[in-house]
Amino acid sequence: MVKVHAQQVGPEKALVDREELQHLIDVARKVEEVELIELQDDLPTEGLMRLVQEGGSFEFLEDSREDIYTLSDLKVRYR
C-alpha cells in the first residue's frame, strides 16, 4: 500500500493543484491501493501570511527611529 501525506497550503492547494493531486492518486490506485492522509493545520500558512501582512504588528519597523544600528555596530561583516 502507498500512503500519500499531503499538507494543504491553502483551502484548495497542496504542492500541486487539487485536481492534479486527485489525478495522481487515481493513476496510482490503478497499480496498488492508495491511502491519502491529509494534514490540517490549526493555523493555515495562507492565513498567517495574510495576518502578518494586514495585521499591522510590524508597521513600527517602518519608523526611521527604529534604525538604531549602523555598520560600525557589526562585530563581523559577512560578504
Give pLDDT tens digits along the chain (79 positions): 767 667 776 777 666 777 888 888 899 899 998 888 877 766 677 778 888 888 888 888 889 998 899 889 999 988 8
pLDDT at 17: 72
Is 39 inside a domain boundary? yes
Cα-based distances in Å from 27 to 1, 15, 24, 43, 66: 14, 17, 5, 31, 55
H-run or E-run covering 6: strand 2-7
Is 79 inside a domain boundary? no
pTM for the model: 0.39
Query: In which domain, by residue range, is 46 found?
Result: 2-73
Q: How many domains does the chain have?
A: 1
